[in-house]
Amino acid sequence: MNLFTLDNLFLLLTGLTAIYLLWRFHARWSKGKALHDVYYMMGFLVLLVSGLLLIFLGLGILASPYVLTVASLIPLGISMGIAEQFFPKWKKAFKWFALIGFLAIAIFSIAGIEIGRKISVPLFHGVAGLVIFLGPFFAKKAAKGFWWVGIGGLLIGLGGIALAFIANGAQLLFFSPSFVMLILTPLLLLMTLAFTFGFVKDIKG
């Protein structure tokens, strides 16, 4: 197994960036014990673990229903963090939606119920991606530059939905399976860097 590939370099840089964000979130959480930092840490911890699994086991593991289920915690954690921090009026309803969505993905994917998986994965990833994408632009009292998180949300949404379509045997626009595999690892790095720019602005603010 050759670990020294361009894909693995992108994944390694993504992992290092995720570690940096985890450190920053933990430092802030240790001072204020804010729940949204716990959600953010959950999302980026799963991103870190997913990246390590991709490095050592290869991109083929993306077809695993267990990996698909666990990876759903990335948009789940980040979107719940944004809802908790900036949109308290509807955070409770969104938490229920996220929980139901996660359970639906887990049950349908692991049980091999195709029709349920084909509905739940794009729906859950799509809504979570929209929250991450639009939330930073509409968040009141957000730090200047927090909109970078929205850019990261756009990237994670496109990547997640494209992967969901491919898993369902379809294609989203020009996102063919070969094209998605080509851009996946650099897309993950760009996404994580965008999140870093935005969240660090918020942490400093």
The three state secondary structure string of the chain is: CCCCCHHHHHHHHHHHHHHHHHHHHHHHHHHHCCHHHHHHHHHHHHHHHHHHHHHHHCHHHHHCHHHHHHHCHHHHHHHHHHHHHHCCCCHHHHHHHHHHHHHHHHHHHHHCCHHHHHHHHHHHHHHHHHHHHHHHHHCCCCCCCCHHHHHHHHHHHHHHHHHHHHHCCCCECCECHHHHHHHHHHHHHHHHHHHHHHHHHHHHC
Please say if the pLDDT value at position 189 is more than 70: yes
- pTM for the model: 0.88
Highest mean pLDDT among 39-48, 111-120, 157-166: 39-48
Tens of pLDDT, residues 15-71: 999 999 999 999 999 998 999 999 999 999 999 998 898 888 887 777 788 888 888
Total Cβ atoms within 10 A of residue 123: 15
Whole-angstrom CA distances from 62 to 42, 65, 72, 139 are 20, 8, 12, 33
Q: How confident is residue 133, by pLDDT bands cut at 50, 70 and 90? A: very high
Most confident of the following: 1-10, 17-26, 121-130: 17-26
Encoded tokens for 80: 């719940």
**Average pLDDT taken over every residue of the chain:** 86
Q: Inform me whether the pLDDT recorded for 188 exceeds 80.
A: yes
Residues 132-148 have a mean pLDDT of 92
Which residue would you say has higher pLDDT here, 173 or 27?
A: 27
Residue 72 has pLDDT above 70, yes or no: yes
